[in-house]
Amino acid sequence: MPSEGGPLAEYGGALPPAPAWFREAVAAPYEMGKVTVKGAEVTFQRWGKRGAPGLLFVHGNGAHAHWWDFVAPYFAGHYNVAALTFSGMGDSAWRDAYDMDTFSDEQVAVAEAAGLFDAPRKPVIIAHSFGGFVTLVTGARHGSRFEGMVIVDSPVNPPERPRDGPSRASRPHKVYPDLAAALARFRLAPPQLCENHYAMDYIARWSLKRAEGGWTWKFDPMIWTRFEPGLDPAEMLKAAQCRIAIIRGEESALMPDDVGDYMRGLLGHQVPFVSVPHARHHVMLDQPVAFISTLRMLLAEWDHSDPHRSVDGQGAGV
């Protein structure tokens, strides 16, 4: 997200040094697709083989599908993998109004368009931050169509710790004279340190577009003034109709221990709840290899086990 004095300023528009594994991952080929949902074009990317078990990666607030470009290829050998970009963000179309049910419909529409429902096994959603809250809605409305959902650092707060939604303040995007100036303003939201500048630089470049007079941000600056909040996330969590697993950054400011304890209480202690060491809220940026390994482990466990418990006596297995 844009802000003053970002960590990429020191590079002057040049690429930060990146490890070989990262360079190879983002160079992996993928297909681009689009689907129209309630009149707006929603874009997505797809890796892997159609007919294989499906994975749908879902980004957070103000982000886009390219946040997963260095994660998704590590699953493409065994899965049909898709990553969507919500309307109002990235390269997807903007709307006159936004709501959680529509974002949920976008998830299902992309899963259908990418062929994620074509395998004998139901697909799994992996969703970060705001995308996790959308996925809770999908789990309650359409969970019977999915094998499970992995919620990544999306805090369902206890009643005594009210959750602050996205800021509804809005203003037109600033136009920067060149790409280097725009990259210099990029910072994560919510603010946090991230030592992996190569990952930040990659997602920042995909967050920008050319505009008259220079470069500007792709996301709709009016999105949160036009947004209708959904139901209580705790109720959505309990109403899930599929398996659930939770991944959080062990140093996340949004998911401290008390929030984790509350979510465990809602779900039961048999639900996988994994803390990634030395990761903050943006887990896949802070510790990408550890995140990939954690997710591989969870998916392998689900591949070889059956649901054996339901949330709140209903249908969500673990």
* Buried b or exposed e, range 74-90, using 16+ CB within 10 angstroms: bbbebbbbbbbbbbbbb
At 256, the amino acid letter reads: P
At 73, the amino acid letter reads: P
Query: What pLDDT is attached to residue 137?
Result: 97
Domain boundaries, the chain: 7-313
CA distance 3 to 300: 40
Query: What pLDDT is attached to residue 164?
Result: 64
Query: What pLDDT is attached to residue 170?
Result: 67
CATH code: domain 7-313 is 3.40.50.1820
User: pTM to 2 decimals?
Assistant: 0.94
User: Average pLDDT per run of 10 along the chain, which is 318 residues long?
Assistant: 73 98 99 99 98 98 98 99 99 98 99 98 98 98 98 95 64 94 96 97 99 98 93 92 97 96 91 97 99 98 71 44
12: left (phi over 0), alpha (psi -120 to 50) or beta: left
CA distance 85 to 99: 15
CA distance 85 to 97: 16
- The position carrying tokens 């797809």 is 46
Query: What pLDDT is attached to residue 1?
Result: 41
CA distance 108 to 210: 31
SS3 108: helix
Structure tokens at 175: 């136009």
Residues 6+ apart with CB under 8 A from 311: 237, 238, 239, 240, 244, 266, 267, 268, 271
